Amino acid sequence: MQVVHAELDWKDSIKTHDRVEVLVGTARIGTKSFTLDFAFRKDGRITCTGEIVYAVVSPEAAQAVPVPARLAEALAPVDSLRERLGSP
C-alpha cells in the first residue's frame, strides 16, 4: 500500500506529555484505494481530525491494483468518523 493523500485539521494543540486517544474509522473503500478517518481526543475534546488515502499498489508492476477482498472485509463497515464528529 502507498499513501496517496493525507490531511490534518487542527482545532487545539497537543503537547509532548499530553495523553491522547486516537480514534480511527473506515471512511471509504474503493476499487483500488481506501480512506481512513482519524481523530485525536484530549480531555474529552477533539483536537485534530484527518484522513489518509491509501492506494493498493502491485510491487511488481508499480501500479494500482484492486483492494483485496480480505482487506476490504477487515476494513468494513464503512462509517465516516469525521462525518459522525461533524468535522470537515
Domains of the chain: 2-85 (3.10.129.10)
- Report pLDDT digits (tens) over 51-88: 999 999 998 888 999 999 999 999 999 988 888 887 76
Chain centre distance of CA 56: 14
Q: What single-letter DSSP state applies at residue 75? A: H
Task: Find the mean pLDDT for residues 6-35.
Answer: 95
Which of 50, 41, 51 lies closest to 12, judged by CA? 41
pLDDT of residue 30: 97
Residue 17 has pLDDT above 90, yes or no: yes
Residue 2, judged by CB atoms within 10 A of its CB (0-12, 13-18, 19+), counts as exposed
